[in-house]
């Protein structure tokens, strides 16, 4: 068991709380950097997906986990990022210009969506974002002069400072770097007054506004930041799959993105990454398992059943998500043999009505 | 014009029925059941099994499907939703999304159902009859009449039966209802059963138009706007909302450019939410600090 003796307020704000964290995160970083040379092409490409989904997951975590707003429309932001990137690349704009543009345009749309969100809450907000998703998808499919409709757009490999990132390793490092930057950005944001304001809004809007938090500003800002991260991820996603069409950005995709947050653990930055990794790994495991199952079961429905069951089981038995499970495990080892089952139990909660606000 | 009106109302009735399922559950448990469309799909498959594979008459099919779905609904509430009672609303919403995934997947695994698309036979032939200038398709008239009948039955049930009154009480205030000796959990379970039954009914009415297949539940996503437009906590709102969405779609399909029909419902819902954030019939209660 490690005891942290705090002797100054600055210690509370440190990114790394103690030397152990520096060591383990450093080790993880080294492993991730060495990965493309050690694990082969296929797994590297899966790691790229994990990085990309982590970025969206972070965006959603900021919105859902830390600001307490619901969005079932993040696939739309992903789409906006992806299409911006594809269209700008087709017109010869270099990557280091088009990526910020994708993020900015996405953020602008997020800001716009955030405006009605000021008046909406809970399920009405979910429906409004859902409607936004459907509308964006339909616009992408119908605005054929720009987006080429349902036949989609093709992308070329990224060229960055004269280098062509068409190999797996190059693109992987780009994804990894951007994912790391996003994580750092989110962590820094969360220890700034802005991040504290987000958390205050999540916990109670009334008390937040009593403390002088401008709800309107911070809610729209949260939407915009979250959308910007989704836009960056969308641009990377477009390059990863090299072909984008509206049906990749449906409502189902949005729901999958939200499950990243739920599976990983609502309210933990780690959760976004864990959830993303889980979402990528699960289909692989299922396709491995298919060989051992009877033909009737191993159809197209298997993935959806397993996915649904995992979601249900995690929510019922581990409301804190994968990261919560890890926290419990770690605490168990740290405190052995003094761990109690109730340590993470929440206070007994009654149904909180959302009709009153 | 009247023709469009009729088509819109018929389509709207189906939306209204699915929306009614949403609203019943939301009112009682404050859970938005994202699996409502999939419950409808399952109901459609039950009806299909009864009528095609077992050769039962139409009315028996309806009874069977509704009863079976009511059982499924109660089972889902008991197994999946009761353990998370009292958790944040969004968590519960995610669980219903999970239920939807499972239902959609399970249907494809059951022998005889699978991923194919089936036609659903009805006693109402494709015949039409003329009344004045308007051509009535028997199918549409049947949908409208049956919806009206169901709504009337539900109205009587909620107004006069003991269980119906108990359900109303639960949906208004669970704690107070519990104090009055109403077994709130059991009532919640019955509401899920009722809602699933209504979904099955909607599935049967929709089946001739869209056929029965494992993804027909996505029409539930169209019923969302219906429920929201009417106000999520209001039963008459669901009916009105469903009709509005059905009509808007019918007219948008006729007078607007192609493709607008599919998003018309969502545009309407955004507009309504901008003006009246809790729907047309929504309650506007304020929290007292």
Total tally of structural domains belonging to chain B: 1
Per-residue confidence band for A81, with pLDDT thresholds at 50, 70 and 90: very high
Q: How far does A56 lie from chain B, in Å, by closest CA?
A: 18
Q: Look at A58-72, A116-130, A320-334 and tell me which has the smallest mean pLDDT.
A: A116-130
Q: Assess contact for B140 and B68: CB atoms under 8 A.
A: no
- Return residues 99-138 of A near B (CB < 8 Å): 116, 119-124, 126-128, 130-132, 134-135, 138
Closest residue in B to A321 (Cα) is B91
Q: Which residue has the higher pLDDT, A169 or B74?
A: B74
Residue B239, domain member (yes or no) = no
Give the least confident one: A21-25, A98-102, B276-280. B276-280
Residue-level pLDDT at A356:
44
β-bridge pairing A243-244 and B128-131: unpaired
Give chain A's largest Cα–Cα span. 67
pLDDT band (50, 70, 90) for residue A180: very high
Is A125's pLDDT higher than 80? yes
Closest residue to B286, CB basis, from A130, A303, A356:
A356
* pLDDT score for B133: 66
Mean pLDDT, residues A96-116 taken together? 90
Distance from CA of B141 to the nearest CA of A (A): 30
The verdict on residue B85 lying in a domain is yes
pLDDT at A71 over 90: no
Question: Maximum distance among all alpha carbons in chain B?
Answer: 61
Best residue of B32, B37, B87, B90 to probe chain A, by most A CBs closer than 10 Å: B90
pLDDT at A349 over 70: no
Each domain of chain A, given as residue ranges in start order, spans 42-288+299-341
Cα separation, A211 vs A196, in Å, equals: 11
**Distances in Å between the alpha carbon of A291 and those of A43, A116, A285, A287, B253?**
20, 48, 11, 7, 46
What is residue A55's predicted lDDT score, i.e. its pLDDT?
A: 95
Establish if B221 touches chain A: CB-CB under 8 angstroms.
yes
- Residue of higher predicted confidence among B87 and A209: A209
Distance, in Å, from the CA atom of A202 to the CA atom of A353, rounded to the nearest integer, reads: 15
Residue whose tokens read 């509005």: B244
The answer to whether the beta carbons of residues B282 and B228 sit under 8 Å apart is: no
Q: Cβ separation of A303 and B105 shorter than 8 Å?
A: yes
Could you tell me which chain A residue has the CA closest to the CA of B283? Answer: A355
pLDDT at B188: 86
pLDDT at A354 over 60: no
Domain presence at residue B188: yes
Taking the Cβ of residue B223 and every Cβ of chain A, the question of whether any pair is shorter than 8 Å is answered with no
Mapped onto helix, strand or coil, the DSSP state of residue A243 is: strand
In a domain, B7, yes or no: yes
- DSSP-based three-state secondary structure for A352: coil
C-beta atoms of B105 and A126 within 8 A: no
Determine the distance in angstroms separating the CA of B212 from the nearest CA of chain A, rounded to an integer: 16
Cα separation, A317 vs A325, in Å, equals: 10
- pLDDT level of residue A198 (50, 70, 90 thresholds): very high
Most A-contacting residue of B28, B33, B101 (CB-CB within 10 A), to test interface: B101
Torsion of CA B156, B158, B164, B169, to 10 degrees: -160
Alpha-carbon span B42 to B72, nearest angstrom: 9
* Bigger pLDDT: A156 vs A98: A98
On the question of pLDDT at A307 being above 80, the answer is yes
Per DSSP, the three-state class of A53 is: helix
| Residues of chain B positioned with their CB less than 8 A from the CB of A271 | none
Does B41 fall in a domain? yes
Least confident of A212-221, A274-283, B131-140, B243-252: B131-140
Would the pLDDT of A304 be above 80?
yes
**pLDDT at residue A331 in the model:** 86
Q: Phi-psi bin for A69: left (phi > 0), alpha (psi -120 to 50), beta?
A: beta
CB atoms within 10 A of CB B105: 23
Q: Quote the CA–CA distance of A289 and A303 in Å, as a whole number.
A: 11
Kindly report which listed range (A71-85, A248-262, B119-133) carries the lowest average pLDDT score: B119-133
Give the residue from B33, B97, B220 with the most A CB atoms within 10 Å of its CB, the best one to mutate.
B97
Q: What is the pLDDT of residue A272?
A: 93
Contact B60, B49 (CB under 8 A): no
CATH code: domain A42-288+299-341 is 1.10.3470
Kindly state the average pLDDT of the residues A279-294.
Answer: 84
Cis peptide before A337, with omega less than 30 degrees from 0? yes
**Would you say residue B252 lies in a domain?**
no
Q: If we measure between CA atoms, which residue out of B248, B271, B273 comes closest to residue B261?
A: B248
When scoring B27, B102, B103, B259 by the number of chain A Cβ atoms within 10 A, the one with the most, hence best to mutate, is B102
State phi, psi for B249 to the nearest 5 degrees: -65, -45
- pLDDT at A352 exceeding the cut of 70: no
* B 10-69: CB under 8 A from A: 26, 30, 32
Nearest CB to B86; choose among A128, A301, A350 = A350
CA atoms within 13 A on the CB side of B7: 14
Q: Which pLDDT band, with edges at 50, 70 and 90, does A351 fall under?
A: very low
The pLDDT assigned to B131 comes to: 67
Q: Which range in A17-21, A163-167, A296-300, B89-93 is most confidently predicted, on average pLDDT?
A: A17-21
Q: What is the 3-state secondary structure (H, E, C) of chain B?
A: CHHHHHHHHHHHHHHHHHHHHHHHHHHHHCCCCCCHHHHHHHHHHHHHHHHHHCCCCHHHHHHHHHHHHHHHHHHHHHHHHHHHCCCCHHHHHHHHHHHHHHHHHHHHHCCCCCCCCECCCCCCCCCEEEECCEEEEHHHHHHHHHHHHHHHHHHHHHHHCHHHHHHHHHHHCHHHHHHCCCCHHHHHHHHHHHHHHHHHHHHHHHHHHHCECCCHHHHHHHHHHHHHHHCCCCHHHHHHHHHHHHHHHHHHHHHCCCCHHHHHHHHHHHHHHHHCCCCCCCCCCCCCC
Does pLDDT of A306 surpass 70? yes
Answer yes or no: do A255 and B224 touch at CB < 8 A.
no
Q: Is the pLDDT of residue A347 over 60?
A: no
What stretches in chain B show pLDDT beneath 50? 288-289
Look over chain A and give the mean of its residue pLDDT values, rounded to a whole number.
85
- H/E element, A153: strand A153-154
pLDDT of A235: 93
Question: What is residue A250's predicted lDDT score, i.e. its pLDDT?
Answer: 87
How large is the C-alpha radius of gyration of chain B?
19
Please tell me the predicted confidence (pLDDT) of residue A196: 92
Q: Are B226 and B281 in contact (CB under 8 A)?
A: no
In a domain, B212, yes or no: yes
pLDDT at A1 over 70: no
Q: What values do phi and psi take at A134, rounded to 5? A: -65, -40
Range of the domain at B208: 2-217
Distances (CA, A) of A217 to A115, A117, A156, A213, A220: 9, 11, 38, 9, 5
């Amino acid at each position: 068991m490690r005891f942290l003796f705090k002797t100054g307020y600055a210690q509370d704000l440190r990114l790394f709380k103690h030397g152990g964290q520096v060591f383990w995160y450093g080790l993880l970083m080294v492993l991730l950097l060495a990965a493309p040379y050690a694990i082969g092409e296929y797994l590297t490409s899966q790691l790229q997906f994990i990085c990309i989904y982590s970025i969206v997951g972070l965006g959603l975590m900021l919105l859902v986990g830390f600001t307490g707003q619901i969005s079932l429309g993040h696939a739309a932001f992903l789409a906006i990022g992806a299409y911006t990137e594809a269209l700008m690349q087709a017109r010869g704009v270099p990557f280091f210009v088009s990526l910020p543009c994708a993020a900015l345009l996405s953020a602008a749309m997020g800001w716009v969506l955030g405006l009605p969100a000021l008046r909406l809450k809970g399920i009405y907000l979910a429906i409004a974002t859902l409607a936004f998703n459907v509308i964006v998808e339909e616009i992408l499919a119908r605005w054929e002069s720009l987006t080429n409709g349902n036949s989609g757009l093709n992308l070329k490999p990224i060229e960055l400072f004269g280098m062509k990132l068409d190999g797996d390793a190059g693109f992987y490092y780009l994804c990894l770097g951007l994912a790391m930057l996003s994580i750092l950005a989110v962590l820094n944001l969360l220890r700034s007054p802005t991040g504290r304001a987000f958390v205050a809004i999540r916990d109670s809007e009334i008390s937040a506004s009593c403390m002088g938090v401008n709800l309107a500003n911070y809610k729209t800002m949260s939407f915009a930041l979250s959308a910007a991260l989704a836009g960056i991820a969308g641009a990377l996603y477009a390059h990863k799959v090299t072909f984008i069409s509206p049906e990749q950005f449906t409502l189902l995709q949005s729901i999958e993105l939200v499950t990243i947050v739920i599976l990983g653990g609502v309210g933990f930055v780690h959760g976004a990454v864990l959830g993303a990794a889980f979402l990528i790994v699960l289909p692989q495991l299922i396709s491995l398992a298919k060989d051992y199952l009877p033909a009737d079961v191993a159809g197209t429905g298997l993935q959806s059943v397993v996915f649904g069951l995992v979601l249900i089981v995690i929510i019922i038995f581990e409301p804190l998500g994968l990261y919560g499970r890890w926290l419990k495990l770690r605490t168990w080892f740290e405190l052995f043999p003094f761990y109690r089952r109730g340590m993470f139990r929440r206070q007994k909660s009654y149904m909180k009505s959302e009709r009153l606000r | 014009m009247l023709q469009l009106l009729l088509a819109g109302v018929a389509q709207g009735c189906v939306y209204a029925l699915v929306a009614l399922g949403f609203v019943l559950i939301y009112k009682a448990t404050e859970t938005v059941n994202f699996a409502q469309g999939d419950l409808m799909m399952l109901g459609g498959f039950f009806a299909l099994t009864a009528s095609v594979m077992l050769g039962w008459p139409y009315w028996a099919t309806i009874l069977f499907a509704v009863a079976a779905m009511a059982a499924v609904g109660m089972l889902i509430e008991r197994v999946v939703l009761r353990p998370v009672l009292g958790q944040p609303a969004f968590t519960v919403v995610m669980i219903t999304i999970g239920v939807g995934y499972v239902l959609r997947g399970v249907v494809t695994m059951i022998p005889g159902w699978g991923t194919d698309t089936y036609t659903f036979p009805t006693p109402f032939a494709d015949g039409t009859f003329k009344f004045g200038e308007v051509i009535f398709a028997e199918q549409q008239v049947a949908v409208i009449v049956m919806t009206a009948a169901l709504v009337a039955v539900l109205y009587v049930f909620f107004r006069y039966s003991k269980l119906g009154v108990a359900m109303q009480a639960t949906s208004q205030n669970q704690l107070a209802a519990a104090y009055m000796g109403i077994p709130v959990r059991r009532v919640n379970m019955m509401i899920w059963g009722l809602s699933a039954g209504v979904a099955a009914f909607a599935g049967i009415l929709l089946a001739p138009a869209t056929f029965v297949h494992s993804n027909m539940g996505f029409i539930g996503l169209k019923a969302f706007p219906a429920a929201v437009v009417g106000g999520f906590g209001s039963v008459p709102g669901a009916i009105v909302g469903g009709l509005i969405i059905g009509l808007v779609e019918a007219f948008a399909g006729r007078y607007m450019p192609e493709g607008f029909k599919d998003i018309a419902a969502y545009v309407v819902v955004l507009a309504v939410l901008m003006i009246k954030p809790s729907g047309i019939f929504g309650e506007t209660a304020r929290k007292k600090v």
